[in-house]
Amino acid sequence: MSKKKIYLIVSIAVVLIAAFMGGMTLKETKHSDSEMPVFTAKRGPLTISFVESGTIKAREQIIIKNEVEGRTSIISLIPEGSRVKKGDLLVELDASGLEDQKLDQEINVQNNEASYIGAKENLAVVENQAKSDVDLATLKFEFAKQDLEKYIQGEYPYELDKADAEIQLANEELARAEETLKWSRQLAEEKYLSKTELQADEIAEKKRTLDVELAEKSKELLIEYTYKRNIAQLESDVSQTQMALERTERKAKADVIQAQAELKAKEAEFQRQKDKLKKLEDQLGKTKVYAPADGLVIYATSAQTGGFRGNTEPLDEGQEVRERQELIYLPVGSESKAEISIHESNLQKTRVGLPAIITIDAMQGKTLYGRISQIAPLPNAQSMWMNPDLKVYNSEVYIDGNDDSLRTGMGCQAEVIIQRYSDTLYIPLQAVIRVGSEPTVYVKNGNSFEPRAVKTGLDNNKMIQIEEGLKEGDIVLLSPPLKSAAVETKNYDGLPQILSDEPPQQKITEDSQTQKIETPAQADDTQGQDRRKQFENMTAEQREEMRKKFEQMSPEEKEKLKQQFGGGGRRRSNGDNQQPATSDR
């Protein structure tokens, strides 16, 4: 089969697809006017507003909370709606547990006070003992220095002088003994002195000689040994007493510091226990809640729009309450406000200062006026937790004037007026769809409806203002074909190339192709388009080679190849009605 025949097959398939699509669109758009809902564009006054439900509250009120720590039970509770004076008892909470804690705490305070007094007295004893030890060590050090000085300047010179005196005395006695021996020998020679007496004189002379030698050796020992030893001993005593003094001073300082630290710790613990006792006494005082001002008693559970998960139990005697829980509201003055929750779809149109019309559910026919005074910057976290898809913003509407008939907790409806037009063109909001990036309506033209781009203004969820594109009396279709509403394709040509070196548009296209999830029919259609593009991009040599392969195929293989190249077009004719068209355009 030649390439001309292949092109012929593809052309025939395209013509059949176009004819089939034209027939389908013609069939869809050819309906009589009686079967299709329509609306005639009107001109007149139009109010752009939205309505939110809310709760009436006092603009200024005193919020009375439970200030008792932990959880406690209500013993007595003043009836709701009572008129109270300043100082009247409102709520009495269970104080039995706190009273037991107070008794135990008083015992702890007494014990810690005794420990504190003991630590104070112990500090005085330690300081006195430290002073005594330091004084004794200082005295020993001074005595050691004096002993050294006394030996060097007193005892040693005295011992040295004494040794010299003994040597001198020994020498004199030796000289006398020698003189006596000399005369004794002469007398003995002359036979005037007996031999025994001579021997006695000789012994006396030897004894005196030995005394001289001993005296000299005693002096030598004093100088060479005794002096050095005594000096070393006395200097060591000075050094030891000095170090003992330093040790005593440091130990005394450490003992005093430790005693002071123990005193501070005991004092801090004593003060902490006293603070705990004072706190318990304060908590006991808070178990009885008195009215801080005159007013009307309103239970917090009655005024709240909804508690945790919307199941807040009404306030009553015997109920357990937590710390910081709101118990009672006391309105101050007669000015009121309405607390409403604005849905995020209306947030962009809303601003502080917009007027609002308030109707009270319990007062049929009564209308009040006010203005939005506050809009929360963030959505209500509780509503988001209960329903992640619901985002509302808590807002307040100050009600004009003072109305004594209003009560906190009343339900209300607040209509917020965004804009009022005295004369404008409008149609129902459901008649407008967005085709691409433009609001579009289907306008009757003869026996058919044709799409027309319009410029829209504000809407009130029912009617929408038409600024351009329509005129009064134009008939628009209330149920436009939704298939014509196409998502606007954004231009990504200007994206910075920070993720890949490839062109941004090419990268995005490839990513979308790799991540796209297709049905089997869509997959076959995509494959057929890819094969046709591949065939069109072939060179002449590649086409000739493919033609030869095609001629060598069996009839079954040729038929399968024809379906692969032409099947995608046939499948597209069944459901690709993206742009409805009228047959009489």
pLDDT tens digits, one per residue of 226-284: 888 888 888 888 888 889 999 988 999 999 999 999 999 999 999 999 999 999 999 99
> Using CA atoms, how far apart are residues 559 and 166, in angstroms rounded to an integer?
153
* Confidence (pLDDT) at 289: 93
pLDDT band with cut points at 50, 70 and 90 for residue 345: confident
Give the type of residue at 123: L
> Using CA atoms, how far apart are residues 30 and 583, in angstroms rounded to an integer?
7
Compute the half-sphere exposure of residue 270: CA atoms within 13 Å on the CB side of its CA: 17
Least confident of 172-176, 246-250, 422-426, 436-440: 172-176
**Which CATH number applies to 51-91+293-415?**
2.40.30.170
* Confidence (pLDDT) at 527: 52
> Using CA atoms, how far apart are residues 426 and 234, in angstroms rounded to an integer?
121
Least confident of 363-367, 393-397, 408-412, 571-575: 571-575
* Confidence (pLDDT) at 201: 72
Is a pLDDT exceeding 50 seen at residue 385?
yes
Start-to-end Cα distance in the chain? 42
Contact 457, 432 (CB under 8 A): no
User: Looking at residues 100-118, what average pLDDT do you find?
Assistant: 93
Least confident of 262-271, 387-396, 527-536: 527-536
* Average of per-residue pLDDT values in the chain: 78
pLDDT band with cut points at 50, 70 and 90 for residue 486: low
% the chain with pLDDT above 90? 31
Is a pLDDT exceeding 50 seen at residue 6?
yes
pLDDT band with cut points at 50, 70 and 90 for residue 530: low
- Residue 281, token pair as written in the block: 């006494």
Is a pLDDT exceeding 90 seen at residue 362?
no
Is a pLDDT exceeding 60 seen at residue 504?
no
* Confidence (pLDDT) at 65: 93
* Confidence (pLDDT) at 505: 42
Per residue in 303-326, is it b (16+ CB within 10 Å) or e — as a string? Answer: bebeeeeeeeeebeeeeebeeeeb
* Confidence (pLDDT) at 169: 83
> Using CA atoms, how far apart are residues 198 and 529, in angstroms rounded to an integer?
163
**Which CATH number applies to 98-286?**
1.10.287
Per-residue pLDDT of 38-80, as tens digits, reads 999 999 999 989 899 998 888 888 899 999 999 999 999 999 8
Backbone phi and psi for residue 395, each to the nearest 5 degrees, phi listed first: -140, 160
Is a pLDDT exceeding 80 seen at residue 131?
yes
> Using CA atoms, how far apart are residues 85 and 296, in angstroms rounded to an integer?
9
* Confidence (pLDDT) at 531: 55
| Of the candidates 269, 272, 338, 267, the residue with the CA atom closest to the CA atom of residue 303 | 338
Contact 584, 450 (CB under 8 A): no
> Using CA atoms, how far apart are residues 286 and 91, in angstroms rounded to an integer?
10
- Which residues are CB-contacts of 179 (< 8 A; sequence separation ≥ 6)? none
* Confidence (pLDDT) at 579: 38
Using DSSP bridges, classify how beta strands 433-435 and 367-375 pair: parallel, antiparallel or unpaired.
unpaired
Domain ranges in the chain are: 1-32+501-585, 51-91+293-415, 98-286
Strands (E), 10-110: 38-40, 42-58, 61-65, 71-77, 83-84, 89-93
